[in-house]
A and B are shown apart, each in its own frame.
Chain A
Amino acid sequence: MVRRTTEPRWSKRFRRFAVYAIASILLLLLSQRPLLPQPSLEVSLNLTKETLEPKAAESERAFFNEAGRSFLIRPDQQGVVALEEESGNPKWEREFGSIITAAAVSDNLSAWGLMDGRIFILDQDGVMLRIIDPRNDGVKSTQPCVYALALSAQGESVAILYGIFPQNFLLYERKAGFYSLSYTKELQKDLRSTQSAAFSNQGAEVLVKTAEGLLYFDRNTGKGAVLHQERFAGEQEMLIKALGETGFAFLTATADKRHAGVIQHGALAAYFPLPIDSYGLAVSGDSFSIFGQEKDLAFTWGVYE
């Protein structure tokens, strides 16, 4: 015969309460301190001037430098001359039927966006590989013009800020040698000047400055979003460059303010003010430099205890 014993009800309640209380306290403690160290920025001052010289020292001629390649823009902005890396001598020359309004360069390709809305993709010898004309793909912008261009490292994707009435963000993907339109986002507001845009080094993410804010698009998920409209909407100037494998570093400028920051996986991971004389951004691996008239600042993105 089994004798059944009954535990007092108050004891059961107490045990349950105690378990919940301990769990809550643990959760509270865990939320206060992350299990792993969070990535952050390390700042170092660099008083010596490096790659970029102050703008006043630049010559009358307009050079476009990107991905270790250098181009000379023709005075009427309807032509471009690729320069030899070592000697700086002209390597090849290309004339366009319309004015160049945006450009992007990778190791082996260059893309040139024109005021008539077309994008010319050239190889490293200046030979034309493709012409992208969004009007042929049914993009409805009353006035064609290319305002921003980004080219992924291998040239498999091209991101474009295109046209007005309305302005569109377009993403073209290369399949079997041809570029086809894979994503379109119509924007409510527009910008009428050249904007900055960049693919991440892995090529899966792209970031473009638009009138509504920073437009972020993830090719893997096929989803895009406009980030932090309150901070990045409007006509402020911006430079965006790929940082590390998946991130972006940026520098913004208005008449009286400069800010820099980092975007990681579509989220604003860092945002901070800079001296008013800051004018340039250069990225190398996980580090980026902000160039100022008086001093340069170097930042390294990483995991710090």
Chain B
Amino acid sequence: MSRSFRSGLLTAFLAFFLAIPRGTFLVSAQNTNSTQEGEVTALSAISITVPSTGISIDFGTPIRFDSVKGLYMGTGVQIPSKTLYVPASGEGALLFYQQEGLLASGFPRSRDNMIALAHEGGFVSVYSSPTLALSEELKKDKIAKDDRIGTLHSDHQGTSRQTAERQGADAYYYLRVADNRSKLLVNPALFTSTMIDRAAPRIEEVSLIRDGFILKADPARRTLQRLAQGEYRLAVRLFDPSYAGGVVSGLFRIKVVLDGQVVADRKFDSAQNQDQGLGFLGLPAPSYSLLDRDMRYLLGSRFLARGNHSMELTVYDFNGNAGTFLWRFIVE
């Protein structure tokens, strides 16, 4: 190799690294990967499925608990298991499991044993039940959809496993779906196929609250109810009954129309994973700040000026069944 050729090669080599910005190739490679990842995410988002037979969705439903606030909100779906097996909701890998251990103390399980699977796109499905046991033959790094990830015991004490299997849905497990990439806990109803639920949600109570004063709506009264002018908070108690003792598709949307104007239209489609806890209906966390001790949802505040008012509250379940409540009152 001649001397001039060597020096030329060296100059070209230096020029190449000086002229081209650092990491150009690396960045473009990363961009390509992220594009591909995005495509995978879009596909994988629909690859999680939740059974739709006999289920009861409690996403956004108040649950009593012995604590300072006394309540928290449900975030999942209760699923019956006829076979006593728990299938994987989608392809993924074992992320976490927790069951009653051989040793006491340490960090305890809650009421339930738990299995969590990580799926593509940042989704995590969490399965829990007091009797859930991790399947021994589970390949923890490569789990296919519908693979048996766990086994349940019959809820009926004293009955044999065969009896329990004959009886069908003796055992239930609870399923939650998290979207860690978007920092959301997602309503599992969004991953179900067709649910048969024709029972409309019930509006059990509508109240206006101000400084400890509560006016409970009573539309059956012959005379219109009266209250003083001021800022009031709307409190409602809702319930989604099961259809023919079966499916509960769950509360999904709350719409409030005051004097012909939509003042609130919120959905239980997801709960935000915030630093203070779970934020439902687009409202700040924690979830129990949205509830009072009487299991009423505390919706937004509104100033009510003197005059005649009408409020229409409509509550939908996930299947679109609606319950409506119309209330006329006078502000003095």
User: Interface majority SS on A: helix, strand, loop or mixed?
Assistant: strand
Contacts A74-B110, A79-B72 given; does A253 touch B67 at CB 8 Å: no
Nearest CB in chain A to that of B69: its residue: A93
Q: How many residues of A contact B (CB 8 A)?
A: 57
Contact between chains at A75 and B112 (CB < 8 Å): yes
Are the CB atoms of A95 and B108 closer together than 8 Å? no
Q: Indicate if A99 sits at the interface (CB-CB under 8 A).
A: yes
With an 8 Å Cβ cutoff, the count of chain B residues facing the other chain is 50
Residue contact A115 to B95, C-beta cutoff 8 Å:
yes
Question: A193: which of B72, B97, B285 is its contact (CB, 8 Å)?
Answer: B97
Residues of B contacting A72 in the complex (Cβ-Cβ under 8 angstroms): 66-67
Please measure, in the bound complex, the distance between the C-alpha atom of A147 and the C-alpha atom of B271, giving whole angstroms: 24
CB of A90 within 8 A of CB of B104, answer no
B interface majority secondary structure = loop
Determine whether A160 belongs to the interface, using a CB cutoff of 8 Å to chain B.
Answer: no
- Taking a contact as CB atoms under 8 Å apart, the answer to whether A101 and B110 are in contact is no
| Complex Cα gap A205–B171 (Å) | 46
In the bound complex, residues from chain A placing their C-beta under 8 Å from that of B216 are none
With an 8 A cutoff between CB atoms, is B236 at the interface?
Answer: no
Verify A60–B111 contact, CB threshold 8 A: yes
List of A residues within 8 angstroms of B103 by Cβ:
237-239, 251, 253, 279-281
B107 cross-chain contacts in A, Cβ below 8 A:
64, 101-103, 194
Q: In angstroms, how far is the closest chain A Cβ from the Cβ of B309?
A: 35
Query: Nearest CB to that of A252 among chain B residues?
Result: B103
- Contact call B118/A279, Cβ cutoff below 8 A: no
What residue in chain A is nearest B118 (Cβ atoms)? A143
CB contact between B278 and one of A75, A78, A291 (< 8 Å): that residue: A78
Please indicate the chain B residues that have their CB under 8 angstroms from the CB of A238 in the complex: 103
Asked if A95 contacts B273 (CB within 8 A), the reply is no
Q: Which residues of B contact A194 (CB under 8 A)?
A: 98, 106-107
B278: nearest residue on chain A (CB-CB)?
Answer: A97
| Residue A182 lies at the interface, judged by CB distance under 8 Å to chain B | no
A98 at the interface (CB under 8 A from B): yes
CA distance A237 to B273 in the complex (A): 31
Chain A residues whose C-beta falls within 8 Å of the C-beta of B114 in the assembled complex: 77, 99
Chain B residues within 8 Å of A, Cβ to Cβ: 63, 65-69, 72, 74-75, 93-98, 100-112, 114, 116, 118, 124, 126, 140, 178, 180, 183, 185, 271-278, 285-288
A residues neighboring B (CB under 8 Å): 52, 55, 58, 60-65, 72-79, 81, 90-99, 101-103, 115-116, 128, 131, 143-145, 147, 164-165, 192-194, 196, 237-239, 251, 253-255, 279-282, 291
